[in-house]
Amino acid sequence: MSTKSYEDLVKLASKMAIFVAATLVFTKLYAWWVSSSSAMLASTTDSILDVFASLCSFIIIRFSLSPADEEHRFGHGKAENLAALMQSSFVLGSAILLMLHGVDRIISPQEVSHSSIAIGISVLAIVLTVALISVQKYVISKTKSVAIGADSLHYQSDLLLNAGVILALVLNAYNWPQADGIFTVLVGVFLLTGAIKMIYHSIHDLMDRELAVEDLQSIKAVINSHPRANGFHELRTRQSGKMRFIQFHLELDDNLSLLQAHQISDEVEQELLKIFTDTEVFIHQDPQSVVAKELTKQVS
């Protein structure tokens, strides 16, 4: 995928998330105002945080797409992980507040009015969220964007949240006023769990976690398939935004000229780039006779 296509798709998903979240904020605020539903307040709070999170994500994504410069030789891709971490923090804070509010509503339940309006707006929220998630899944399949992935995870949880609001309103209408507060607490617990997972993955990516096992297996298969490659060691991989980085020591015969060793490395690199787009490959050539010494250094 070209850099231009990557940028266009990521920006499209980010802009659409902001639009959907902003639309839902205004409609849910009205529904909460007329119904006084705690569950609807939980859903409204979540949408307000969605706006801030998606807006911050959009700004950071634009920064992450900036080309490498003198101070950031590997580009700005790690900013995507910062966007995911920021979103997680928003979700974490809202989850705690919702749980506290829900407990208060369980202890002191309040009557919910105009529940039909709140239910109708929740159905609208589900329709818009499904449309957004569909676009996000398409973008993720094409770009593997970490920030859009975190955004999509949050909006997927919104589907359950909106369905739960409808259930809570229906139960409240059948004289179970505590259902409103109980569901608010459940939403808080659900969001809290999702936030912790997002924080975990974001931190690991910022700490240069290795590529997926499937990717590592593909890399090893490509290197070993070259007829003049005797093996490899010190394989290291990481990802920063859309860019992957692969580096390793390539083991070659002692009697090869520098030009021949360079040509073999180029051939291995080109085969890797056929599988992994938006990737930088760093290959250090090692004569076979020094490999044992190199491996001994690693152990010691």
pLDDT value at residue 78:
66
pLDDT value at residue 271:
94
pTM exceeds 0.95, yes or no = no
* 53/192 same-domain check: yes
Mean pLDDT of 131-139: 89
The count of residues in the chain is 300
Number of domains in the chain: 2
* Last residue within a domain, chosen from 173, 189, 206: 206
pLDDT for residue 1 is more than 60: no
- What kind and span of H or E run contains 234? strand 231-240
Nearest in space to 172 (alpha carbons), one of 106, 98, 262, 221: 106
User: Residue 254 burial (CB < 10 Å; 0-12/13-18/19+)?
Assistant: exposed
Most confident of the following: 18-32, 157-171, 185-199: 18-32
Amino acid symbol at 264:
I
* 68/148 same-domain check: yes
* 235/153 same-domain check: no
* Last residue within a domain, chosen from 141, 176, 206: 206
Residue 252: pLDDT band (50, 70, 90) is very high
Mean pLDDT of 209-217: 87
Higher pLDDT, residue 49 or 217: 217
User: Residue 105 burial (CB < 10 Å; 0-12/13-18/19+)?
Assistant: buried
pLDDT for residue 126 is more than 80: yes
Residue 195: pLDDT band (50, 70, 90) is confident
Lowest mean pLDDT among 103-107, 202-206, 261-265, 293-297: 293-297
Separation of alpha carbons 184 and 186, rounded Å: 5
* 186/62 same-domain check: yes
Mean pLDDT of 228-245: 85
Domain that holds residue 293: 213-299
* Last residue within a domain, chosen from 206, 226, 252: 206
Most confident of the following: 50-54, 97-101, 187-191, 214-218: 214-218
* 111/256 same-domain check: no
Buried b / exposed e along 274-293 (16+ C-beta atoms within 10 A): eebebbebebeebeeeebee
pLDDT for residue 253 is more than 70: yes
* 180/32 same-domain check: yes
* 254/149 same-domain check: no
Residue 284: pLDDT band (50, 70, 90) is very high
Lowest mean pLDDT among 8-22, 61-75, 129-143, 285-299: 61-75
pLDDT value at residue 220:
95
Separation of alpha carbons 96 and 84, rounded Å: 19
pLDDT value at residue 66:
67
* 104/172 same-domain check: yes
* 198/161 same-domain check: yes
Is there a contact between 255 and 290 (Cβ–Cβ < 8 Å)? no
Lowest mean pLDDT among 1-15, 182-196, 261-275: 1-15
* 165/240 same-domain check: no
State the chain's maximal CA–CA distance in angstroms: 86
Mean pLDDT of 237-244: 78
> Do strands 243-252 and 231-240 pair parallel, antiparallel, or not at all (unpaired)?
antiparallel
Separation of alpha carbons 216 and 218, rounded Å: 5
* 188/165 same-domain check: yes
Give the CATH number for residue 157.
1.20.1510.10
Residue 296: pLDDT band (50, 70, 90) is low
245: which strand partners? 238, 280
Higher pLDDT, residue 64 or 205: 205
Give the CATH number for residue 239.
3.30.70.1350
pLDDT for residue 228 is more than 80: yes
* 130/198 same-domain check: yes
pLDDT value at residue 127:
92
